[in-house]
Chains A and B, each alone.
Chain A
Amino acid sequence: MLAFLLRRVLLLIPTFIGVTLAAFFFIRLLPGDPILLLAGERGITPERYAELATRLGFDRPLYEQYFAYLGNLLSGDLGVSFSTKRPVWDEFFTLFPATLELSLAAIIFAVVLGIPAGVIAAVKRGKAPDHLVMSTALVGYSMPIFWWALLLIIVFSGWLQWTPVSGRISLLYFFPPVTGFMLIDSLISGQRGAFNSAVQHLILPTIVLGTIPLAVIARQTRSAMLEVLGEDYIRTARAKGLSPLRVVGGHALRNALIPVITTIGLQVGVLLAGAILTETIFSWPGIGKWMIDSISRRDYQAVQGGLVMIAIVVMIVNLTVDLLYGLINPRIRHRR
């Protein structure tokens, strides 16, 4: 198990270097000069431009810039954002809880609905519930995120007026962030109605962000269940006289979850990509929205820092999934 863990961790090193390379060079491939964008419409004199370029290190060769960046990164320095003049590290961790809260809500939504839906579809294979689940999943998977978000906003915020359109909490409430998680902070603040408001704000973004993972998890669960239900050990379980609930929910699901957990882990990457769109649509002050803003400002440091941090989060999640995999599947746990 320890060797397994060590191997997984060592594999992260080349991945990490790849991510820094991609982050560093791709943002520089984009047309647009950060110094000109920073200066805005006032314009800038050539002397001032040269001075800024020197200060930001843009006058040095690209590979030198990269190694300087990598060196800083390894000592934990993500650099300073051009536009806000604040350390990227601080910016990221101010906004990250908002994204984390939304992503967690979305993945919980997707898992809690997706696994039972997949199980029901598999058990009722070829019958109405199966067709319902599978066609809904297909629609959910193919629906463009922005379109789905607009649709929900029109119906639930516009016509029905059940949910707010944007933000994390109503402007009526204000309290200093403690954990950065709005649901927890609103409870801590003790202000009446604050928690309800936070929940209401969370509903639509959660649905929007969770829809694709939901569809993927439901489909994956169904196919994994169908495979497992045909196994000999399911016949054994039924021959023991166990109830269908024990056979399906105990013996079959436990085995079917093995591939499903891998899928859930992979969905975290999809989720963070989806968060960028979802946060922009709902003006959710998380890293997704921050990344979009930073890209349009050509804020190299912020974009690089953000990408690297997101990559680290995804890598940690995948590592956790690998470990979880061993926990649920004894065959892997015992493999040397």
Chain B
Amino acid sequence: MPLLEIENLTVEFATVNGRFKAVDEVSLTCDRGEILAIVGESGSGKSVSMLALMGLLPWTAKVTADRMSFDGTDLRGLSGRQRRRIVGKNMAMIFQEPMSSLNPCFTVGFQIGEALKVHLGLDRAERRKRTIELLDLVGIPAPEARLKAFPHQLSGGMSQRVMIAMALACKPKLLIADEPTTALDVTIQAQILDLLVDLQREQGMALVLITHDMGVVAETAERVQVQYAGQKVEEQPVAGLFDDPHHPYTAALLAALPERATSRRLPSIPGVVPGQFDRPSGCLFSPRCRYTTERCRERVPHRQGAMAGFALCHYPLVQGRPIGHPAPNRIANAAEEPA
């Protein structure tokens, strides 16, 4: 049985202009000790689906799912108190902006110790000892001296290390990392990623890594789930995904990697993720897809099988060729000649 199992998760926000579906029937599983990457542009519902899992969405959000179980516990319909026994203990999360994610009024030692106090009931001396251990674990030099430091005295990379230490405090079974390196300097990004992967291996925990950086995915993940406009559009093991992407969106993301560029200018995906008011009626990616036909614009695609990476597409790609496409040879703006 997988550690985390989510089936048909939908998150809707009540807005002034009616309901907005940020996550649209997303399913997801993650095994113990596995690294799963969730990839997609901003606005594809990656963070929202994980925040929904943690119960951290504002009250304007309506969360529904056919199944949402963690470590054998059904998370649906849990009371706040019951959920808080899991969240922060067995399931922890770190965020994109480490500098603003730490409370400026409290010391590093206090903020890490708080989780230990609430979940494990450790006394002051035990908390101090464990906090020093944790700071050491995440590679913070002179951990004892850092206990009394305030967040404004730390750099971004240090803050993220503290966040990781805080998340690991109760030895969670699952760590969700929401774009943990996006706000950091490039040199620090690699350090933090290495740290996360090392810790994941050492602690044997599962890691869900939310990112929009395909480079990060290639370096760390075992399995990849691609999301677009709130929907899961493809899911594959990492090697397969990079070899043979089945959804045109995945293919376009990969084509935008500098390492894969064939011309001087990097190819890009025209347009932006649809919002509340410009949601297409058929395939959500159809306005931006190279292979779009009338059928794509009018009919919602079915999910393909495992062989085609569960792609949500009428014409899934196999070795770069759209299967079943009426005119595969007459495709507009081909990748070889980017706009």
Contact A240/B115 with A235-B95, A334-B150, A334-B153 known, Cβ cut-off 8 Å: yes
Q: Are A237 and B103 in contact (CB under 8 A)?
A: yes
Q: Can you sample 17 A-B contacts with CB below 8 Å?
A: A232-B100, A233-B100, A233-B102, A233-B104, A236-B95, A236-B163, A238-B55, A238-B56, A240-B88, A241-B88, A242-B88, A243-B118, A246-B118, A330-B104, A330-B150, A331-B104, A334-B153
Q: Are A242 and B150 in contact (CB under 8 A)?
A: no
B106 → chain A closest CB, angstroms: 7
Contact A254/B118 with A233-B100, A239-B93 known, Cβ cut-off 8 Å: no
Q: Are A236 and B103 in contact (CB under 8 A)?
A: yes
Contact A241/B119 with A235-B101, A328-B105 known, Cβ cut-off 8 Å: yes
CB < 8 Å: which of A233, A238, A241, A329 contacts B89?
A: A241
Q: Are A330 and B152 in contact (CB under 8 A)?
A: yes
Q: Are B100 and A231 in contact (CB under 8 A)?
A: yes
B90 → chain A closest CB, angstroms: 9
Q: Which residues of A contact B137 (CB under 8 A)?
A: none
Segment with Cβ contacts to A, from B78-86, B191-199, B260-268, B312-320: B78-86
- The total number of A-B Cβ pairs within 8 Å is 78
Q: Which residues of A contact B97 (CB under 8 A)?
A: 232
B166: interface (CB < 8 Å): yes
B→A interface (CB under 8 Å): 54-56, 80-81, 83-89, 92-93, 95, 97, 100-106, 114-115, 118-119, 150, 152-153, 163, 166
A94: interface (CB < 8 Å): no
CB < 8 Å: which of A232, A237, A239, A242 contacts B54?
A: A239
Q: Are A254 and B101 in contact (CB under 8 A)?
A: no
A130 → chain B closest CB, angstroms: 13
A251: interface (CB < 8 Å): yes
With CB as the reference atom, state the residue of chain B lying closest to A335.
B152
CB < 8 Å: which of B55, B105, B118, B153 contacts A240?
A: B118
Docked complex Cα distance between A328 and B92 (Å): 29
Q: Are B100 and A241 in contact (CB under 8 A)?
A: no
Q: Which residues of B contact A237 (CB under 8 A)?
A: 103
Q: Are B103 and A241 in contact (CB under 8 A)?
A: no
CB < 8 Å: which of A233, A239, A244 contacts B103?
A: A233
A255: interface (CB < 8 Å): yes
